[in-house]
Amino acid sequence: MTQELVTAIVEMREDDAVAVATELLDDGTSPTSVLDACRDAMDVVGQRFETGQCFMPEMILGGEILGQIAEVVKPRMDDVEDSQEKLGTIVFGTVEGDIHDIAKDIVAFMLDTNGFEVIDLGVDVPPQTFVDAVETSGADIVGLSGFLTLAYDPMKATVQALRDAGLEDVKVMVGGGQVDEHIRVYTGADAWGRDAAAAVKIAKSWT
């Protein structure tokens, strides 16, 4: 049924997607698996966007669908840490030039439910805004999200801005879209994650 969920999201069948996600959870499918299916669906939507097969309204609708699914998933998370003490602070956002917030929202949600304080800067975030947020919050980690290939240069510029500001000890992870080890090297980030679960694992390894 996870493939059914992927198909419903790709086809922008909002009510069906939420219903399938709910049914999956009720049948015992893990919340992480549901979120993985959402990621897979948005990978398809992103590829269609980059090749001109779909447009920004579809991207926005996809984000709205995922937001609704996240509201269904959140109460089902069984690995939420109840401790009031946070594992660390993470400044997170989609880099300048990219208005995609779908993957960002999933990762931020997972980090939050796993014990991190997440400062979500939103989308189209300039490098200096990341720097200012880190300096203000004392964050240990920065997460840079980018769905489109045009995000790679802003990711690189943001990493450089953090280093130029003397924040060499702050760890940076990148992810989203087609980000891989080559992009990590290109941007100068410390790590990259394929999905939200990877982001949580990386963040925990740094704390």
Answer with the one of 76, 107, 139 that is the final residue of a domain. Answer: 76
Quick check: is 82 in a domain?
Answer: no
- Domain with 148 in it: what CATH number? 3.40.50.280
* Residue 8 token pair: 């419903």
190 and 94 both lie in a single domain: yes
State the Cα–Cα distance between residues 134 and 154, nearest whole angstrom. Answer: 17
Exposure string for 72-97, b = 16+ CB within 10 A, e = fewer:
bbeeebeeeeeeeeebbbbbbbbbbb
Q: The domain that contains 34 carries what CATH number?
A: 1.10.1240.10
Are both 38 and 102 inside the same structural domain? no
Q: How far is CA 114 from CA 3, 24, 42, 141, in A?
A: 26, 22, 23, 15
Same domain, 33 and 93: no
Give the pLDDT score at 137. Answer: 96
Same structural domain, 109 and 197 = yes
Q: Which of 76, 106, 124 is at the close of a domain?
A: 76
Residue 200 lies in a domain: yes
> Could you tell me the mean pLDDT of each successive run of 10 residues in the chain, 207 residues long?
93 96 94 85 80 82 85 73 70 93 80 87 97 97 93 97 97 93 98 87 94
> What is the spatial distance between Cα 88 and Cα 203, in angstroms, rounded to a whole number?
9
Predicted confidence at residue 61, as pLDDT, reads 85
Is pTM, for the whole model, over 0.95?
no
**5, 41 in Cβ contact below 8 A?**
yes
Q: What is the pLDDT of residue 78?
A: 56
Q: Say if 13 falls within a structural domain.
A: yes
Q: Name 174's bridge partners.
A: 144, 192
Domain with 66, as residue range(s), is 2-76
Domain count, the chain: 2
User: Distance between CA 107 and CA 113 in Å, rounded?
Assistant: 10
| 109 in the same domain as 10 | no
Is-contact 164 194, C-beta < 8 A? no
Examine residue 81 and state whether it is found in any structural domain, yes or no: no
Report how far residue 141's alpha carbon sits from residue 138's, in angstroms, rounded to the nearest whole number: 9
For residue 83, tell me if it sits in a domain: no
Q: Residue 184 falls within a domain, yes or no? A: yes
Q: Are 43 and 105 in the same domain?
A: no
User: What pLDDT, in 10s, does the model give residues 77-99?
Assistant: 754 444 446 789 999 999 999 98
